[in-house]
Amino acid sequence: MISNSEVASHLAELARLATLEEGSSNAFRVRAYETAARTVELLDTPVADMSAKELAALRGVGPSTAAKIRELVDTGRMARLEELRVMFPAAFVELTRIPGVGPKTAVMLRDELHINDVEGLKAALDAQLLRGLPGMGAKTEENIRTAVERLGIGGKERRTPIQDALAVARDVVAALSAVPGVIRVEPMGSLRRFRETIGDIDVIVVSTGDPEDVMRRFVDLPVVREVVGYGARKSAVLSASGMQIDLRVMEPSQFGAAAIYFTGSKAHNIRLRQMAIERGWILNEYALAESEGGAVIASDTEERVYAALGLPWIPTEIREDTGEIEAALASELPDLVADKHLRGDLHVHTSLSGDGQESLEKMLAACAARGYAYVAITDHGEDLTINGATRQQLLAQRRRVAKLQDQYPDMTILQGAELNIGPDGSVDYDPEFLAGLDFGVASVHSSFTLDRTNQTARVIAAMRNPAVNVIGHLTGRRIGHRPGIDLDVDAVLSAAEETGCALEINGHLDRLDAPADVLRHARERDVVFSIDSDAHDTRELANVANAVRNARRGWVERKRVVNTWTAKQFVRWVEGTRGG
């Protein structure tokens, strides 16, 4: 049976190719396909089980798209998509990845110069054929030549892991904060929404001084390799690593409208602007204002702009037009977990792990300093041969923990381990030894290439193990480096409901695992989570803030997170899950 995400990716491709046919990504047909793709992607009911009539009742899906979905489900094909694939082969579509080449230009290049791929474009550039086309001159030709040469480093679809983008953004923010007159510098866009990968870094500078000072300072930053746009209030540059950084300078009174606008997502903003129009208003990056006369209704804070539209402030992580507007209108926004709710950390390493950097004593002191009511010390199990702790080492640690517990009357210390889930679902040590531990996190650290059936079976077997309270970094992915293991997410969520085993939300920026889309799908299920740092030194304990933001993206509510519970509730859950 075809999955919803496969159907959604067909619809997304339909939108991409329709862009070429329509000549614009803003064409209504294109937007309709995009909306339909988003709706299907997020739906919990399999579309394969739905009638055309039921499909057409979904938001953004009408009779035409419903028929296309049914056709795909029934025949495995979508005739319209196949026609478009013939009209626009992949090598031709590749042309639109070049910055500056949109659908109109690509089609003109083919119609006028018979260019069908990037190689053909290069030849035409060498022959200086582009400058003879309508609306094109030598300058445009040169711009396209430059863009082709750096395809792969600055292409439109290039995305950077959030870990790398955050580092670049931090430097830009620090440098621009020092410019005279600047009172505020904030990263916006997908960085503020905390997506796993970032396209461009968007930054707003609020300044009471001369905006041109900010712009000059911006394009002179050491990180800047090339200036790709330069205006009085808006500029764009490419960083040394090829990331695009967009900068806007705004007045203090515009900050709220600007923050909403530049945070996005685009789909979220479109919904807000539609709501503004219904009221006879207009919403842009400067203000929410009356269409007639332009009297400003709200602009200085996000809260005021949302409130004027009849909405509560919407958390940045869920601004994707995937149901948050409807929830806000119905006063049913989720009670998202926040940093201040955390009462403990359930995945902490010490120097007993080969890759742990600091002593048990230091890690506990740092946890206590964070105000935790409980903590689980979870060094690697022995099956991780280069990093794991032996039984003797764990027993010795257990005695040390017992002594240290006296120093922390307000913090319950659980001594456990991060167990390794073997390819067959077994974990380290033997059941008798494991029963002597207080807590168990079980994680996949090997055999990443098993098929879905086997991966799913091993994870579920670990969940059913009475020594396991939490499944660590569910998919094992490393963002930008390694894909996650192939899992039947539905089956895993069912096992989590059945066993009470928590799914970890890991705070390492290259993990953010379980991924937000998995968390979102767990929303309708009776699943609990743990928000963990997976710290290997005291500094990394702060990683929980990353996990919190990823949890919020996945609509995870406070009540679902076991380490927001009181010590009493938490210990009851631990005891309930241990021993099955």
Partner DNA sequence: GCCGTTTTCGGCCCGACTGTTTTCAGTCG
Looking at beta carbons only, is 276 or 421 nearer to DNA? Answer: 276
Give residue for tokens 């998202």.
Answer: 336
- CA distance linking residue 52 with residue 559, whole number of Å: 37
- CA distance linking residue 503 with residue 331, whole number of Å: 28
Looking at beta carbons only, is 98 or 297 nearer to DNA? Answer: 98
- In the region spanning residues 221 to 280, those forming contacts with DNA, defined by CB under 7 A, are 229-235, 244, 246, 266, 269-270, 273-274, 276-278
Consecutive H or E run containing 41: helix 28-42
Looking at beta carbons only, is 61 or 375 nearer to DNA? Answer: 61
Beta bridge partners of 506: 532
The count of residues in the chain is 580
Structure tokens at 529: 């989570």
Residue 420, helix vs strand vs coil: strand
Q: How many CA atoms lie within 13 A of 86 on its CB side?
A: 5
Looking at beta carbons only, is 270 or 542 nearer to DNA? Answer: 270
- In the region spanning residues 114 to 133, those forming contacts with DNA, defined by CB under 7 A, are 131
Looking at beta carbons only, is 277 or 435 nearer to DNA? Answer: 277
Among 189, 334, 484, 515, binds DNA (CB under 7 A): 189
Amino acid at site 13? E
Consecutive H or E run containing 162: helix 162-177
Looking at beta carbons only, is 8 or 276 nearer to DNA? Answer: 276
Asked if 32 touches DNA (CB under 7 A), the answer is yes
- Cis, peptide link before residue 514, omega less than 30° from 0: yes
Among 17, 162, 214, 283, binds DNA (CB under 7 A): 283
CB of 65 to DNA, least distance (A): 3
Backbone φ, ψ for residue 155 (5° rounding) = -60, 160
Among 1, 28, 114, 292, binds DNA (CB under 7 A): 28
Quick one: which segment of 19-27, 301-309, 379-387, 428-436 binds DNA (CB under 7 A)? Answer: 19-27
Asked if 443 touches DNA (CB under 7 A), the answer is no
Q: Where are the alpha helices (DSSP H) in 101-137?
A: 103-113, 118-126
- In the region spanning residues 88 to 117, those forming contacts with DNA, defined by CB under 7 A, are 96, 98-106
Backbone φ, ψ for residue 577 (5° rounding) = -85, -35
- In the region spanning residues 190 to 219, those forming contacts with DNA, defined by CB under 7 A, are 199-200, 202
List of residues 6+ apart from 149 with CB closer than 8 A:
none
CB of 98 to DNA, least distance (A): 7
Other CB atoms within 10 Å distance of the CB of residue 246 = 19
CA nearest neighbour of 99 among 244, 241, 215, 225:
244
Looking at beta carbons only, is 230 or 464 nearer to DNA? Answer: 230
CB of 154 to DNA, least distance (A): 9
Asked if 322 touches DNA (CB under 7 A), the answer is no
Q: Which residues contact DNA (rule: CB under 7 A)?
A: 23-26, 28-29, 31-33, 35-36, 56, 58-66, 80, 96, 98-106, 131, 135-141, 143, 156, 189, 199-200, 202, 229-235, 244, 246, 266, 269-270, 273-274, 276-278, 282-285
